Amino acid sequence: MAHGALIDGVEADCLTVADRGLQYGDGLFETLAVHGGAPCLWREHFDRLARGAERLGIPCPQPELLLRECRRLADGESIGVLKIILTRGRGGRGYGPPIDPRPTRILTRHPWPDYPTTWEKQGITVTFCRTPLGENPVLAGLKHLNRLEQVLARAEWRDREIAEGLMRDGRGRVIGGTRSNLFLVRAGRLLTPRLDTCGIAGTVRDLVLRIAGGFGIEVLERDLGRTDLVAADGIFLTNALIGVWPVRRLGTREMSIQDLPWELLTAVRRATRTPDREKGI
């Protein structure tokens, strides 16, 4: 790989075809921002990876080892992206997993996405996707390797003016973007979709839930429909790379960004761009 890769700590760009991550999507992944030669939100990303690994029964690497490898790839990068993939490794019979799995860890380095600079302050245009999200409480919240729903949803538009697509479950509940979490502003409170049956519990979503109270803002997790979005005082999206994107246009409807909690959003953006230089966890 042109931009750097480690497989189980060794520089490599080839994976055995027998790996269960390739065969069955049997694994998890994390996408981290790199600023100033170090990963950002490291604790949040590792904690989510560890929770997902525990739920799937995949042994998780020690945090010190994984952080050391992340820094090895991030060193010298003023800005970039790191991706961590953890698979169950090889073995088992068909879908049946091995009794004593030996996981594969893959780290890759990538250039920073070329997003228009105007999106961050002036807001973005989003569309509604037709592809629904399947419901499965066992996998809800996990950032697992099975992303076909998001792939199909993202293939629905080619317009470069559209930054993101919102996805709903089979009951019509809006869950989030193809690669982002969703927040609505209504009467001074934040509303965000419940993720009890599908969707990804994003690291920046968790950050907002954790620090909003310090800004005097209540956050409610609830079921949200399309009408809730249309009636919102404001909408913004989050993930580890974009930080925060205000929504200026929802389909054909213009949305205001004036009532967004800008002090909170500024703090969130700062956190997503602060390199973690701690030596451990």
Instruction: Quick: pLDDT tens for 83-114.
Output: 999 999 999 989 999 999 999 999 999 999 99
Give the CATH superfamily of 118-272.
Answer: D-amino Acid Aminotransferase, subunit A, domain 2 (3.20.10.10)
> Can you give the pLDDT at residue 276?
84
> Can you give the pLDDT at residue 71?
95
> Can you give the pLDDT at residue 93?
87
Cα–Cα distance list, 55 to 87, 155, 190 (Å)? 13, 30, 29
- Name the class of domain 5-110: alpha beta
β-partners of residue 30 are: 84
Q: In what order do the strands lie in the sheet with 38-39?
A: 10-11, 5-7, 104-110, 79-87, 27-35, 38-39
Q: Is the confidence at residue 140, as pLDDT, over 80?
A: yes
Cβ within 8 Å of residue 196, ≥6 positions away:
137, 140
β-partners of residue 7 are: 10, 106
Which residues of the chain are in CATH 3.20.10.10 domains? Answer: 118-272
Q: Is the confidence at residue 144, as pLDDT, over 60?
A: yes
Task: Dig out the tokens for 170 from the structure.
Answer: 């089979």
Produce one character per residue of 60-89: b if its CB has 16 or more CB atoms within 10 Å, e if not. bbebeebbebbbebbeebeebbbebbbbbb
Q: What is the mean pLDDT of residues 147-170?
A: 98
CB atoms within 10 A of CB 281: 14
Q: Is the confidence at residue 281, as pLDDT, over 70?
A: no
Q: What is the mean pLDDT of residues 120-125?
A: 96
Which residues of the chain are in CATH 3.30.470.10 domains? Answer: 5-110
Cα–Cα distance list, 20 to 49, 85, 104, 129, 186 (Å)? 17, 12, 9, 30, 44
Tell me the pLDDT band of 58, cut-offs 50, 70 and 90.
very high
Q: What is the mean pLDDT of residues 50-59?
A: 98
> Can you give the pLDDT at residue 131?
99
pLDDT 10s digits, 222-249:
999 999 999 999 999 999 999 999 999 9
Distance between CA atoms of residues 85 and 95, nearest Å: 19
> Can you give the pLDDT at residue 279?
46
Q: What is the mean pLDDT of residues 250-275?
A: 96
> Can you give the pLDDT at residue 269?
97
**Could you report how far apart the first and last alpha carbons of the chain are, in Å?**
29
State pTM to two decimals: 0.95
Task: Dig out the tokens for 177 from the structure.
Answer: 């973007």
Cβ within 8 Å of residue 275, ≥6 positions away:
34, 35, 36, 37, 38, 39, 40
- Residues 227, 137, 144: CA angle, nearest 5 degrees: 100
> Can you give the pLDDT at residue 278?
56
> Can you give the pLDDT at residue 3?
56
Q: Is the confidence at residue 273, as pLDDT, over 90?
A: yes
